[in-house]
Structures are given as C-alpha cells and as structure tokens.
Structure 1
Amino acid sequence: MANASSKRIAAANETALRNLVRNMVIINVLALAVRWMKARRHVRPLWPSGFPLFLNVIGFIAVLFIWRWFAAIGTPRRDASGIKVGDDLGGKGIVELAWDVIYMTWICTLGSALLGNWVWWLYLAIPGFGAYKVFGIAQPFLAMFMPGIFGPKAPKGAAADTPAAGAAAAGEPGESKRQAKLRARMEKGDKRVQQQTRRQAQ
C-alpha cells in the first residue's frame, strides 16, 4: 500500500511539474501576443509602464521561484534502492498557498493584457487569503486570552431551550410550557380548560 501510494504521488508530481512549465509558457506567450496586437491596433506601448510593469516582472519571478522550489521538493529521485518520493505537490498548507499564487499571477498576467492593468488589484486576494488562514490558526490562542471576543458563541436558541428560561418565559417558577398554555387559556375563559380542571379536581 505504501509503495503504491509513493508511486501515485511520484506520478502526480511529475505531471504537475510538466503542466506547470507548459502553462507558464502558454500564459506568458498569450499575454505577450495580446499586448502586441493591442499595441498595433490602438497604437499603444507594447509593455506597461510604472507599477504595472513592476507587478508583471515580480509575478513572473514569483512563478519561476515557485516552480524551482516545487522541482526541488517534488521531483522523484530514482536510485538503486528504488524511487524516493518528494513532498506531495497536491498537499495542503504552504504548497496549496503557492499554487494559489501561481494561479492568481496567471489570471492577472493574462487579464491585464486583455482588460487593463486594473486586474492586478486581484493580487490583493493572496495576502487577504493568507491573513484569513493565519487568523484561523491563531483564533484558538486568542480565545484563551479574550474568550468574550474570540471564544465560541452559544447558539441563539440555546438560552430559550433551558428549563430556567422556559419557566421565566411562562411567568411562574417550575411551570412547563403546557401548563403555561393551559393557564393562559383559563385566564381567557376557555370553557374546555375549565371543564378539564374540574375533572382533575374530582
């Protein structure tokens, strides 16, 4: 079972690395082609200037860096003892966040070429998602020091379901909901309740 799992992870890692290189080339060539066509048609510069150019370069470098890191940790190595499987590139945690950075970079690279440089604002989703994940990890520790703010919240209906709350709602201590309904009907003059009360008294 362990050997089969190792082979599956090794095959999945090799496929992921091949697809990563192929998609990286396709996305950047497409973005360059779109920018070239728009530059010829609308007489615009081929490359963006200023901060959008900086974001394009940083995004490309980030994807290259992640690809090299994935290749270092995920490439299976074969020797005389067999296959040594690296880390699972489909795993959770930092690997999952790295894939999110790659996908968001590709969306912004191609989207900025097609729609405009404003698409790079979507890049803010990466630190926002990272902050959300960090908060999820830190929340139990924060709840120890500030339970009123970060501690577990009681369900809204929980207070009404307790016996004390039912008695308080009924108006008399120790009175059930059924008894409270019968008393309310008796106060209204319901004859059926009065007859039932007489039978119980007899």
Structure 2
Amino acid sequence: MANQGAKKRKEENARHMARIRHIIIACNVIYVVIRMLIFHSSITWKHWIGLAVTSLAYYFPYQQLAKMANPSYAEDGELLDGGFDMTTGGVCGYLHDVIYITSFVQVASIISGKFWYIYLVIPAFGAYQSFGLIKGFLPQGSEEAVEDEKTRKKREKLEKKASRPKFVKTRTR
C-alpha cells in the first residue's frame, strides 16, 4: 500500500505522455501524407521550413513534459515520486498549449498557408504575461487616490457598519 499515489501518478503520466505522442505522430503523418504526397506538385521550400518549425515546436515542449513526468526512484529501486502532475496549469499548461496549437497549425496549414499566422498567438500571450509581470515591478504612483464626496461617504458608511457589534440569536430553553 505504500507509495500507492506515486504508482498511480506514474501510470497516469505514462498514459498522458503516450496520448501526446500519438497526437504528434498523427499530425505529422497527416501532414506528410496529404501535403507531401498528395499535393506534392504544390510543395515549396516554405513547406519544408514549416515542417521543420513544427517539428521543433513539438520536440522542445515534449522533452520538457517528459522530464516533468519522469518518476524518481531511491537507490534501492523503490519508487519515491510518480512525477509532476500533468493536469496542473502554469508552465505545464503552457507547454501543452504550444503542442496543441502546433498540431492545429500543422494540420490546418494543409488547407491554407494563412493558418501559420495563428502561431503569433504564442509570442503574443508570452508578451501579455511578461507585461503583467513587469507591471508588478513598476511604481504604481501615489497610494492615496483622490476620492470624491460620494465614494468617501459610502466607504465611511461601510466602515461604520463593519465596526458595529454583531449579535447572535440563540435559543433559550
């Protein structure tokens, strides 16, 4: 019964990584078969670069997720930790998003090359997150904002109401 949670997490991570691997392989096979074999007459150097870009966009996030999903073992071979929980947000969620966006872009680019513009979502979101981080380090100006009469009275009324003692009704027998 010991380390039951770690064993379960290890199995969940193995299934999850296999599912992501199948998504990546399926998207690559679809792209190569349809774009490279069926529409071979319309292939340009841009399509080869697109295949290389999507391959890199799959490789790096997948490798990072694989490192996160790796279980850790003691020196005697006992399972200590089943790996990182792949269902959490944060960096793990962002890596999943990059893989899913890449899958969509790769398959949709068979229809039209304009789908490559969807890749701009990734750096735009990164810039948005960075702006929020940088904004936290910037001075916010004066702490005391000028209050008009109406909001001052409302605030004072709420403070007065909050400071009143609260009575609890109880039953007496």
TM-score under structure 1 length normalisation: 0.61
Unaligned ranges ≥5, structure 1: 165-202
Match of 1:11 in 2: 11
Unaligned ranges ≥5, structure 2: 155-173
Question: Secondary structure at 2:27's aligned position in 1?
Answer: helix
Match of 2:161 in 1: none
Relative contact order (alpha carbons < 8 A, sep ≥ 6): 1 or 2 greater? Answer: 2
- Percent of residue pairs bearing the same amino acid type: 23
The one of 53, 57, 63 aligned to 2:58: 63
Q: 1:132 to 1:12 in 2, by over 3 A?
A: farther
Q: What's the C-alpha RMSD, in Å, of the aligned pairs?
A: 3.1
Aligned mates of 1:63, 1:141 — CA distance in 2: 33
Deviation of 1:5 after TM superposition, in Å, equals: 4.0
The one of 149, 153, 164 aligned to 1:163: 153
Deviation of 1:4 after TM superposition, in Å, equals: 4.6
Choose between structure 1 and 2: higher helix proportion: 1
TM-score under structure 2 length normalisation: 0.70
Number of corresponding residues: 150
Within 5 Å, give how 1:1-202 maps onto structure 2.
Answer: 3-36=3-36, 38-39=38-39, 44-45=41-42, 47-50=43-46, 52-78=47-73, 80-113=77-110, 115-142=111-138, 145-147=139-141, 160-163=150-153
Question: Secondary structure at 2:89's aligned position in 1?
Answer: coil
| Maintained 8 Å contact 2:3/2:80 | no
| Maintained 8 Å contact 2:6/2:82 | yes
Aligned mates of 1:108, 1:66 — CA distance in 2: 16
Q: If you compute each CA radius of gyration, which structure gives the higher value, 1 or 2?
A: 1
Match of 1:191 in 2: none
Question: Secondary structure at 1:147's aligned position in 2?
Answer: coil
Match of 1:184 in 2: none
